[in-house]
Each structure stands twice: as C-alpha cells, then as structure tokens.
Amino acid sequence: MTTPSPIWHPQRTRPLDHLPTAKIVKRQDFTRDLFLLWLETETPFTFKPGQYITIGARGLERPYSIASAPYEPLVEVFIEYVLPEYGGQLTPILWAQHAGDVVSIRPKAKGVFTFERKYRDHIMAGTVTGMAPYVSMIRQYLHDGDSGHRFFFMEGASHQDEFIYDKELAALAERHPEWITFIPTVSRPTEKRNATWKGRTGRVNALVEEHLEMWGLSKDDTLVYACGHPGMIEDIKHRLAPQGWRVKEERFWKEEGKE
C-alpha cells in the first residue's frame, strides 16, 4: 500500500449539523494506515466495554469499536485508513484530522459484543483494529477489581508493527500470568517488515483451535469472541461451532465495502 496522503483539508471538514460533536484532543500514528484518535465529547457519552461509537464528518458516518474503558475521560478509537479506491470514504477524511478538529457523534453507543461474565474462560481472537473492544473490556475489568475469570487474548496481523496494543496486553499477561494470556501471531513471517519477529507465525484462526485443545478448556464454561477480518471470523465459526464451542462475533467490514 502506498503512503496515504490527505485528500481533504482538515479545515474543510464539518460535522453533521444535527448531531452532538466531539473534539479530537490527541492523535497518534503507528503505520502508514493505522492511527488512534482520542475524542472529548461535548455531552456525556456512556457505553459498555465492547460497544461502538458512530462518528462522522462531511455527511458520512461509520461505527468504530471503542478501545477506552467507560471510566476513562476520553473516547479512544483505533482506525485503519482505507484508500478511496478500496472503498474508503470516511477514513480518508479522518486521516486528515488533527488535535482541535471536530467530528460528529451519535449520542448513544450501540452493540452487543460485550463481556459475558457467566463464562469463566474468554478466548478473545482479533485482527488489528479488531482488538479494540477487548482492550476496553480488560481495562474496565481491572479498574473494577473484578476476579474469577480468565482471558486468552489472541491477535493476528500481517506485520508485527500492526500490533498496536501488544505492549499493554503483554504487560498485563506478565503481571497476571495465572489469568491473562497474550499470543500474537504474524501471517507473513518472510516479509521484510517482519525481519525481527521471533514470535508465533500463522493465521490466528488456526491457532485458536489449536490452543483450545492445548489448554483443555470446558465448552460449557468458555466463550470464544471473534472480531476483525470477516474471513478470520468465518473460519473460526467454521472450525469451532460444529464442535460445540460458543462463538460471539463482531464485524464492520462488509463485502460491499469496508466503510
């Protein structure tokens, strides 16, 4: 992918007039197409970990999973910039935004991709931006001082620099090894961007099935979450559902377009 360049000037971006707005107070870029935005909402915005916010500009809107936890003062969203020729509509506009710019937001969070505490073990499989809801869940879980559950975070990406939350999750796994596990894997280990990679390789959907057996988890007390690339989600469902595993999914990328 070529390095994206803004095709809309930030000052020309306007929120949808009839909706509340949020100010971008911070931005951080990680790769040529992955970035984080932190939003300060003009009105109180409440949500459950795992839900999504719908933001917009120039008459366009799109849902984004929230990476921040409800207790945090700013709303954190993890965005992949999709080029217009590949279906990107809103993300080229957001790519051109900086601290101080304003976007519109729908006043209510939505989504049912939330933590289900009735299960003891939680397999949280995701690809790149699909890790955002899991980050929200574990941050809130720790903030609340909750206990009695185990979390197995499994993240897949093409390249190692796409693991945006890896340091946070790895640190949590090191601090709480008895109930937090983090396994990242790259699917293109021979590419130059992965030259220094020394971790697992292969697609995350295949590793989920392998590790369910390895860990000896109970089907009655385990929930498998899948968020991210639709191919990954479908493969996990195809592999696990016939065996009796419960799979909960979340996806925003549709075949007719990524936005």
Does 10-105 carry CATH code 3.40.50.300? no
Bridge partners of residue 146, in order along the sequence: none
Listed in order, the ranges of the chain carrying CATH 2.40.30.10 are 10-105
Model confidence over 173-205: pLDDT tens digits? 999 999 999 999 999 999 999 999 999 999 999
Q: Which residue has the tokens 């109930």?
A: 179
Q: In the prediction, which pLDDT does 253 show?
A: 54
- Chain-centroid distance of CA 77 in Å reads 8
Q: Which of the residue ranges 22-36, 52-66, 239-253 would you say has the lowest mean pLDDT?
A: 239-253
Q: Is the pLDDT of residue 252 over 80?
A: no
Cβ neighbours for 8, distance < 8 A, ≥ 6 positions apart = 58, 92, 93, 96
| Strands of the 246-250 sheet, one edge to the other | 200-201, 180-186, 150-157, 121-127, 222-227, 246-250
**Is the pTM value of this prediction over 0.95?**
no
Q: In the prediction, which pLDDT does 254 show?
A: 47
Computed over every residue of the chain, the mean pLDDT equals: 90
Element (H, E) at 40: strand 34-41
Specify the CATH number for 121-247; select among 3.40.50.300, 3.40.640.10, 3.40.50.80, 3.10.560.10.
3.40.50.80
Listed in order, the ranges of the chain carrying CATH 3.40.50.80 are 121-247
Contact between residue 148 and residue 179 where contact means Cβ atoms under 8 Å apart:
no
Bridge partners of residue 200, in order along the sequence: 185
Q: In the prediction, which pLDDT does 86 show?
A: 80
Query: Residue 102, class by beta-carbon neighbours within 10 Å (0-12 exposed, 13-18 middle, 19+ buried)?
Result: middle
Q: Is the pLDDT of residue 67 over 80?
A: yes
Q: Which of the residue ranges 63-77, 147-161, 240-254 would you say has the lowest mean pLDDT?
A: 240-254
For 3-29, what is the mean pLDDT?
64
Q: In the prediction, which pLDDT does 245 show?
A: 97
Element (H, E) at 211: helix 204-215
Q: Is the pLDDT of residue 13 over 70?
A: no
Per-residue burial over 244-255, b = 16 or more CB atoms within 10 Å of its CB, e = otherwise: ebbbbbbebbee
Determine the Cα–Cα distance for residues 141 and 177; give it in Å rounded to an integer: 16
Model confidence over 97-141: pLDDT tens digits? 999 999 999 999 999 999 999 999 999 999 999 999 999 999 999
Determine the Cα–Cα distance for residues 184 and 202; give it in Å rounded to an integer: 10
Query: pLDDT class for 16, splitting at 50, 70, 90?
Result: low
Determine the Cα–Cα distance for residues 59 and 104; give it in Å rounded to an integer: 9
